[in-house]
Amino acid sequence: MSMGTVVKYLIQSNDRFWVDERLAPSSGSDRSGMTWEATDNQMRGRNQNIHINLFAGGDSARRALRVFERADLAAVHAFYDRGLGRIYKNYASSRAPDPRFVPWPLERWTWGGYSCPVPGVAAIFSLPASTSVCLSSPTWRVRSNLAPWSPRKS
């Protein structure tokens, strides 16, 4: 199965900057990707940072990869500072230096994201009897050679 273009951006922050803005750590943006707090609102230990993950696929991942390939990591950090700054005004000033950018399509042993198949690619999984599920991007469907299900009459 061909895999789609995906990237991950692993961020650390010295505080939960979204709380004062009355926002959640989980966000979604067609421009940047989706974020969530990886520390899951756990209590902090001394000198422990808060972890925020960003996952992006499709066009948003391709934009980040272009920045990375044409410039350097500083440009990637600026790209995400701008993008996440549209959602969280205190993001850039709160993040710890040097978040980790993971360009999955450029990783030798990965080359993509298994959770983001290329559009039009389908995976078939066998189920009991003659039923199969076709997972296809962008649609999912169930195929069956059996008659449609109906409740039994008692």
Q: Please indicate, yes or no, whether the overall pTM of this predicted structure exceeds 0.75.
A: no
What average pLDDT does range 75-83 have in this prediction? 96
pLDDT at 48: 85
Least-confidence region, from 2-6, 60-64, 97-101, 136-140: 136-140
Q: What is the pLDDT of residues 97-152, one digit of tens each?
A: 999 999 988 887 776 655 555 555 555 444 444 444 444 434 444 444 444 444 44
Q: Is the Cβ–Cβ distance between 66 and 101 less than 8 Å?
A: no
* Burial class, 107, CB count within 10 angstroms (exposed 0-12 / middle 13-18 / buried 19+): exposed
Domains of the chain: 3-115 (3.90.660.10), 119-154 (no CATH)
